[in-house]
Structure 1
Amino acid sequence: MLTANGQGSGVKTKHREWLHYAPKWQKVRHALAGDLVGYLRNVGLNEPDKAYGEARQAEYEAGGIVYNFTRRTLSGMVGSVMRKEPEINIPKELEYLLKNADGSGVGLIQHAQDTLMEIDSVGRGGLLVDAPETGAATAAEQNAGLLNPTIAFYTTENIVNWRLTRVGSVNRVTMVVLRETWEYNEPGNEFETKYGEQYRVLDIDTDGNYRQRLFRFDAEGVAQEDVVEIYPDLGESLRGVIPFTFIGATNNDATIDDAPLLPLAELNIGHYRNSADNEESSFVVGQPTLFIYPGENLTPQAFKEANPNGIKFGSRRGHNLGYGGSAQLIQAGENNLARQNMLDKEQQAIQIGAQLITPTQQITAQSARIQRGADTSVMATIARNVSQAYTDALRWVAVMLGKPEDTEVEFRLNMDFFLEPMTAQDRAAWMADINAGLLPATAYYAALRKAGVTDWTDADIKDAIEDAPLPLGAVTQVAGEIPQAAQQQE
């Protein structure tokens, strides 16, 4: 580990695309958390009485109800993918990742699920394969998990800057700046923990080696004097490679993709505003208002003397309004505009949520039931991108542990998002096609798996059929004695 002096405050510089998309990410985050109060209008701003205006605003904010269909849609998207475990093909040396992928005890499948949730939400993230500075781990150290590479996920907000360099005919990522949290203790007080910012710069030095630099700032934003340089040991075959991959909703390049849930989040914000408006309207306009018409020659002072306890509702009290006086309760008629706006947004939310899951082309309901694979959906694209990112990360881990570059490694998320129910008529049609020689039995086995009837592989089914005893109806009963010639032994 090397240290170098320098302030490095410029490391906080944000990429221009980051600055453009950050407000949109924040909007999605707020919608998912249900923290939407900041998006309400200030109804008490123009009130002449400041205290009354603040009280009215507080009541207005308290009346709004968050119907969080953004969060429910996200849960449905992730649940559809993770209803079946991913297909993982890794060498034995990488099996420690199944229980501890990031070094903090999070297993590989849970790690991938968290990543999938992020990409489904904001459409961007990244994976960094981090390796120790020392050489290849020994078997004992590897079994103990002390010097093994780990996989770290970074949210889109924490990938603050990056640079692409043209190398031959391709654009290669030559710098990535990642924002992290740094914990430290004040001198003289080991029990008080403070949190500052740490920026991890991944780049290639002038000698073509991959390095990391750590720039630290305390809780007050003051830069620390030392910049830490780290040279992780990736192995010779990965020399000059930054083991970091972007993950996007459209593809896994450095370009920022649109957040899939942004349209739904904006609808959720509008729905919440309508809810607050509807509640305030129902309270303010819906309450009956008493109008009093004092009688002839009844001065305010005389009215006060005639009604020393004021005017109160109820049949147990009488009131003196003077000769010719009267009173009237007035209540506004029903107004469903705000409520109708809420219902309209709920229908729009259903349509947007469906487009995230089902195929984007225009198809009939019957075709949708048959196809149902959602091959062209946003969710399917994200599942493929996350699968590819984890496959790349696992390959880097394998090479860092001394495995050949052509080692077979694969991580594949489930792409069958929905069960396809199979009726008795469907099964009969399948059997007819198989018996006619039009389809192989393996195609029927695949259909059974899609319908959720079984999770057996083709080999499992064939072995079970071969090992099963013949059904009684398939055995031909033979009557009579066995011919003597058939009993002779050769």
Structure 2
Amino acid sequence: MSDVTFKHPEYVKNFHMWDKVDDVCKGQDAVKAKSTAYLPRNNPHDTSQEANGFYDSYLKRAVFYGVTGKTLGSLVGAAFSTDPTFKFPKDLEHLERNANGAGVSLYQLSQSALRHILKHYRCALYVDFPDVEPSRNRAEEKAKQAYPMVHLLSSKSVINWDTITVGNQVKLNLVVIEEIISERGQDGFSTESKQQYRVLRLEDVGHGEFAYTIEVYSKSDKGVWVGSGRKMPTDYNGNPWSYIPFTFVGAVDNSAQIDNSPLLELADLNLAHYRDSADFQESVYYMGQPQYYVTGVDWNWFKEARKNGVYIGSKTLMPIPTDGTFGIAQVEPNTLSREAMKDKWQQMKEMGARLVEKGSASKTATEAKNDDAVQHSVLSLCTVNINEAITMALRWCAKFVMPNVDILTKDDLLYEISQEFNKQGYLADLSRQLFESAVQGHSSFKSWWEYNQSGMFPKQSYDEEQKNLEAEQEGKLDLTGE
């Protein structure tokens, strides 16, 4: 008997890693909610009420610093410091404002994709179209309000997959997507979450041909997963698809292979720092306060002191035993756990944690660029893979609404996240040089103006700059100011 809930071995193997990085990126509340999973008990075999109380205090005093989450945010911010380039035909203009049917733009969807890849190593894109009959003309198509949508799936949602080789091409022939849907309760306010599975298949229809089908499985009243029947989507021309419009998006490539997430090592180090923090905070609690002591004490003196009390302060007189002494012991500030925390903090910064520290030494542009080189090489590869996957998904969308997508070029259909992560910033000298060049007729005033507005050198070809220059000259621009 087939089991639609079966999980791919690689999914099972990596799920705990994805869960861990998610918790670390969410911050202290999520990490502490997992208690012993990330902060082990010192005496796991002692389950007494007293031991539990000690652990609860130990957990509450621990401090988790959200380094990994801040690094994730800064990397995404660096990738989108410049707006992506998005070129599309008129038939796909809805994707600019609503790419997935839930009001999320393609720009926002690509941001989420980058976050998933940095945390989990991969995510997935899936394109679908409403189950409607092919339209006979544009007016009929518009009346149906049917639009292709691009759905972003986390690594946790795609529980199973498989591939086959057709000719010399490796194609996905099975994808199982776990979905959570909400249904409104009878009272009109409450909601109930239900689970279902969307199964995408590439089926052999004979004569060496394959066709893409969809089937949704839901649980029956008897607790059995039942399919709703397979449907075969068609493109604009009414032809079945010879492949599944689905792609994985990874940190290294867009294959089905899974590797460690780019933030995994930083997350592990962040948790190690958290455990050192717990030990340090415990030592501060127990040993941080001054400890008073008296020497030369016998039991009679001790009992009398406990009976009458001992008062300490500049305005009190404290009797001490004959030949006895009174002193104060205080812990040195540089404890071992504190030193371990400092070491791990430095290691986290070296691994790419972008933290702004007040009072830190200034760096030259070259030094700052070298510091970012490793993380930006990873970030660059992630953005390249997202660019390719989204551009491919756009072509699938176009195949649903256009008779011939082969005529579309990169000038017609393209999504590209900029890889210029290290912004040079506005330079007054460069602005002056651009202005002087424009006055001399070697470049356009448009380029100088754009640089002053954005702080970035305009991206345009030599021919485009020549056209701008000619247009300004034909306008008889008065360069003398007279």
Q: Same fold (TM over 0.5)?
A: yes
CA distance 1:87–1:310, shift in 2 (3 Å): same
Partner residue in 1 for 2:357: none
- Report the Cα offset of residue 382 of structure 1: 0.9
Verify the 8 A CA contact 2:182 2:193 in the aligned structure 1. Answer: yes
**Which of the numbers 242, 245, 257 marks the counterpart of 2:244?**
242
Task: For residue 251 of structure 1, report the CA deviation from its aligned partner.
Answer: 0.9
Whether the 8 Å CA contact 2:24–2:68 is kept in 1: the answer is: yes
Counterpart code for 2:81: R
Match of residue 288 from structure 1: 290
TM-score under structure 1 normalisation?
0.78
1:158–1:179 Cα contact (<8 Å) kept: yes
Letter of the 2:146 partner, please give it: L
The 10-residue stretch of structure 1 (425-434 or 92-101) with the greater mean CA deviation from structure 2 = 425-434
Q: Could you tell me how far apart the structure 1 residues matched to 2:335 and 2:70 are?
A: 26
What is residue 36 of structure 1 aligned with on the other side? Answer: 31
Find the aligned partners of 1:431 and 1:371 in 2 and give their Cα distance.
Answer: 33
Match of 1:151, SS state, is strand
Q: 1:94 to 1:327 in 2, by over 3 A?
A: same
Q: Deviations over 1:365-391 (max 9, x none)?
A: 749859999897111111111111111
Residue 401 of structure 1: how far off its partner (Å): 0.7
Letter in 2 for 1:277: D
Kindly tell me: are residues 142 and 70 of structure 1, through their superposed partners in 2, closer, same or farther at Cα, counting changes over 3 Å? farther
Structure number with larger C-alpha Rg: 1
SS in 2 for 1:246: strand
* Cα distance in 1 for residues equivalent to 2:163 and 2:226: 29
Q: CA deviation at 1:409?
A: 1.5
Question: Per the alignment, do residues 320 and 366 of structure 1 end up closer, same or farther by CA in structure 2, a change over 3 Å counting?
Answer: closer
Matching of residues 370-389 of structure 1 within 5 Å: 377-389=377-389
When residues 82 and 324 of structure 1 are mapped into structure 2, their CA distance, relative to the original with a 3 A threshold, is same
3-state DSSP of counterpart to 2:352? helix
Distance 2:299 2:353 in 1: 70
> In the TM superposition, what whole-angstrom CA distance separates every residue of 1:204-246 from its partner, at most 9, and x where no partner exists?
234233111112248x993344544333333445522211011
Deviations, residues 54-101 of structure 1 (Å, cap 9, x unaligned): 222122212222221211111111111212221111110110111111
Using the alignment, how far apart are the partners of 2:66 and 2:173 within structure 1? 40
1:420 aligns with 2:421: no
> Secondary structure of the residue that 2:200 maps to in structure 1?
strand
Alpha-carbon deviations, 1:446-474, whole Å to 9, x = none? 9x86982465754584345653622217x
* Alignment partner, residue 361 of structure 2: none
Task: Say whether residues 1:25 and 2:51 are aligned partners.
Answer: no
C-alpha deviation, 1:125, in angstroms: 0.6
2:234 and 2:240 in contact (8 A); partners too: no
C-alpha separation between the residues in 1 aligned to 2:123 and 2:473? Answer: 46
2-side partners of 1:58 and 1:74: how far apart? Answer: 30
Contact 1:134-1:232 at 8 Å conserved across structures? no
Evaluate the alpha carbon distance shift between residue 369 and residue 68 of structure 1 in structure 2; reply closer, same or farther with a 3 A threshold.
closer
Match of 1:478 in 2: none
Matches within 5 A, 1:80-479: 80-136=78-134, 139=138, 143=142, 146-184=145-183, 192-207=190-205, 208-217=210-219, 222-235=223-236, 236=238, 239-291=241-293, 298=300, 303=303, 307-308=306-307, 310-311=309-310, 313-314=312-313, 328-353=327-352, 366=366, 377-406=377-406, 407=408, 408-421=412-425, 423=427, 452-453=455-456, 455=458, 457=460, 458-459=464-465, 461-462=468-469, 463-464=471-472, 466-467=474-475, 469-472=477-480
**CA shift digits 1:255-274 (9 cap, x unpaired):** 11321111111111112112
Q: How many residues align?
A: 450
Number of the residue aligned with 2:358: none
Deviation per residue, 1:295-340 (Å, 9 max, x gap): 557277xx25x65454455456666666666654433333332222
Name the CA shift for 1:288/1:134 in 2 (closer, same or farther; >3 Å): same
* Partner amino acid, structure 1, of 2:24: A
Unmatched segments (≥5 aa) in structure 1: 1-6, 356-363, 476-490
* Residues 227 and 330 (structure 1), Cα distance of their counterparts in 2 relative to 1, 3 Å cut: same
Task: Kindly state the Cα deviation for residue 350 of structure 1 after the two structures are TM-superposed.
Answer: 2.0
- Runs of 5+ consecutive residues of structure 2 not aligned to the other structure: 355-363
Deviation at 1:346?
2.2
CA–CA distance in structure 2, aligned partners of residues 106 and 318 of structure 1: 74
